[in-house]
Structure 1
Amino acid sequence: MENKMKVEIWSDVMCPFCYIGKRNFETALEQFEYKKHIDVVWKSFLLDPSIPEIAEESYHDYLVTRKNMSPEQVKGMLENVTQSAKQVGLEYNFDKAVMVNSLNAHKLIQLAKTKALGNEAEERLFRAFFTEGKNIADKATLVQLGKDIGLDEAEINTIFSDEKYATLVNQDIQEAQRVGVQGVPFFVIDRKYGVSGAQPAQAFLENLKVAFAEWRKQNPETKLEVTQGQSCTTDGICE
């Protein structure tokens, strides 16, 4: 397996800036010359573990009652965030958002990571929550979202009974504390550089360039002097 530089991203699928940060990072990665040498690892983070699994209030009311913000402040903030999302091609519908605990959603992400589908799970859950107004704590909904990205239904159902998935979520959260994560999104590049928040794509790109240059010095690319002879290729041609 090829050695790659790791980028770890702590995120909560209920965090509006995490989705925006994801888009900006993806834009930067597309522009990065050595993107094939980058391994992106998603990490779980719960912004508010006290939110119940059954919705009790709207996104707007949640911020008013739990964050001690005025209705006017919340309205202005959500309008600003919606515009920021639109600038990177995302549609936010806060009036449809179902405020529920995101633990089950993170369990699905942990399963997806074992199938190399972590990024797909993050994307599907973000869209489900912010755009489609789906209940990301509901088991039937999560089964369908998991199937949407290619996960097996029987395996998806294990996340609700097998404690190992909750354990993996908690391990990510404990690791975040050790790293010093105080808010999300939080990007850790090669365990040397931390990038906090939904930074512009250019900021991500600059950090990738600096970190990769250092990483490459410690992990030089193997270049062989090859003597050609008769051989068979992977597409079955022998000559």
Structure 2
Amino acid sequence: MKTKQNILSPKMIVEVWSDILCPFCYIGKRQYETALAQFADRNHVELVWKSYQLDPTASEVASESQLDYLVKRKGMSVEQVKGMLDNVIEYAKQVGLEYDLYNAVIVNSFKAHRLIQFAKTKGLGDAMEERLFRAFFTECKNVADLAILTQLGTEIGLDETELQAAFTDDLYAYMVNQDIQEARQIGVTGVPFFVFNRKYGVSGAQPAEAFLQTLETSFAEWRKEHLVTKLEIIEGNVCKLDGECE
């Protein structure tokens, strides 16, 4: 019997610099996912999360609300900040996200980024990013607390004992800092910042249509250099790696 199968091919890489404390990063993730779902060649695209810290000086102690933090940092009135938060909450609803910004507490995100870097080595970077976003924006969890981060990691399938390395092994801190340094080198000044095939940058939580257009443009160029070939295979008796012969 003859069949046709695609030979293995690389995937076009889409990188996104993000901080889990950034409300537009979670919204941008949803907008990108909406675009990807409409993209015919989505199986040949891989999303890679990159670390970025909006405020490296933030405390690891959960003692300051979003409202208080923004009033202090931006020098705006309470009413002005409330109006801004309400607008972001409404924007999130439009892409299916429920934000509880008034109860979310600002903390340092470095440990959470270490956990994301560890999860990436296990093929769970996107799942970890998603879980941390929901924990911060919807569940108002302290994403600087090691016990909470460990729980969130195990929820997506990471081994509890193994993932402690995320917080103790300097490798993962180094990976976070490398991403941040790379962001400076390519001129990232705000997040989310998407880079398609190292050629096209998209800044901010753009509409899904903008992401889709960039996917189509960048992938068309990438495809010219990475053609996917279909082999015609004549099926017969084989032995497999597990020792089974059929």
Specify the TM-score bucket, using the shorter chain as the normaliser. Answer: over 0.9
Aligned residue among 13, 23, 32 for 2:20: 13
Matches within 5 A, 1:8-47: 8-47=15-54
Structure with bigger strand share is 2
Give, in angstroms, the shift of residue 157 of structure 1. 1.5
- Unaligned 5+ residue runs, structure 2? 1-7
Q: What is the match of residue 65 of structure 2?
A: 58
Aligned length: 237
How far apart, in 2, do the equivalents of 1:201 and 1:232 lie? 46
C-alpha RMSD of matched pairs (Å): 1.7
Distance 1:217 1:95, change over 3 A: same
How far the C-alpha of 1:51 sits from its partner, in A, is 0.3
The two structures have a TM-score, normalised by structure 1, of 0.95
Structure 1 segments unaligned to the other structure (5+ residues): none
* Whole-Å separation in 1 of the counterparts to 2:35 and 2:245: 38
Tell whether 2:161 aligns with 1:157: no
In the superposition, the TM-score normalised over structure 2's length comes to 0.92
Give the corresponding residue for 1:167: 174
Percent sequence identity is 61
Which gives a bigger RCO, structure 1 or 2 (Cα 8 Å, sep 6+)? 2
TM-superposed CA distance for 1:95, in Å, is: 1.7
- Find out whether 1:85 has 2:92 as its counterpart: yes
Query: Which residues of 2 match residues 80-229 of structure 1 at below 5 A?
Result: 80-224=87-231, 226=232, 228-229=234-235
C-alpha displacement of 1:158? 1.8
Name the SS for the 1:153 alignment partner: coil
Structure 1 consecutive aligned stretches of length 4 or more whose deviation exceeds 2 Å: 226-234
Q: CA deviation at 1:231?
A: 3.6
State the alpha-carbon separation in 2 of the partners of residues 52 and 40 from structure 1. 30
CA 1:28 to 1:237, structure 2 compared with 1: closer, same or farther past 3 Å? Answer: farther
In the TM superposition, what is the alpha-carbon distance from 1:180 to its structure 2 partner?
A: 1.3
Rounded to whole Å, the distance in 2 between the matches of 1:172 and 1:165 is 11
